[in-house]
Amino acid sequence: MASVLVSGCAGFIGSHLVELLLQRGHRVTGLDNFDPFYGRHRKEQNMAGFRQHPRFTFHEVDLRHGQDALVDALPAEPIEVVVHLAAKAGVGPSVQAPIDYLDNNVLGTTHLLEWMRQREIRKLFFASSSSVYGNTPARPFREDANLQAACISPYAASKLTGEQLTYTYHHLYGLDVLNARFFTVYGPRQRPDLAIHKFVRLLQAGQPIPVFGDGSTARDYTFVLDTVAGIAAGVEHLLTHTGVYETLNLGNNRPVTLLELIKAVGQAVGVEPELRFQPMQPGDVDVTYADITKAHQLLGYAPRTPLAEGLQAFVQWMGQQEGQ
């Protein structure tokens, strides 16, 4: 049993991860700042199943406020591994408010790393993003791709900078690090601004679906429990290995075009979609496609959830939310 700190514990991925870590017997300290990007009540609902768990402790902390905020909130709690999920998310919004993304994702990460250095906590799982690949032509995306000119949104740039910061702290201070690039995670508790969430709401309301571009853009959709299983495996790897610095893709290794996705969502909802084609959005990439060979070799990572099954789980969860 280990002591794990999860930043962003009230979010979509974070709340699922906390549940799994508690199921596996770990002690979990959760941090969240309840960023107003979407309603606090949704995040409170995400935590409802474990907020009172005897091995879970929660602190409302904003990492932008510096490492002193962490020192005040966590004066003596023993932490063996940090899973850093907290971030300002979203490619499109980052184009409109880049400073907010650099403030949260770069400065906030730096504050967390400094606190870890001062506390001599030497194990970090850092949540990066497939956005760092941009429109890299070589596919599937491999972790050793040259990303010098790849980022095409402030969000992507903030995540790649986070990876560079973790390497700096690994090199200078001996921090063990796994950087994980997530690929379009979906499932119950998904953020309301994301495509699948929007599509289900529109279909259920009898409204048309906006299609940005010609519908041929593709994403490597990964069910949240598959992603979370990869994170938990990463935590175990960090606990049992030293001298670690690795960057991994946590995707599904199967791109799905936008038109294919809309058709699958329509089948899950039981509604034939009506499409409205619109121009591409700034910052959007053409394709995301994960090579997951390295994650499989290092962590045994193997996503198992077919898209149709994952969408059914999401639609069922949406129905439960409407009944509350």
Catalytic residues: 155
CB proximity list for 68: less than 8 A, separation 6 or greater: none
* Strand positions, DSSP E, the chain: 3-7, 27-32, 56-60, 81-84, 123-129, 176-182, 185-186, 209-212, 218-219, 222-223, 245-250, 256-257, 275-278
**How far apart are the C-alpha atoms of 321 and 300, rounded to whole Å?**
34
Neighbours of 93 (CB within 10 A): 18
Residue with structure tokens 């906006």?
210
Selection from 104, 73, 91 nearest residue 8 by Cα: 104
Q: Which amino acid belongs to residue 292?
A: I
The DSSP 8-state label assigned to residue 174 in this structure reads: -
Q: Which amino acid belongs to residue 145?
A: A
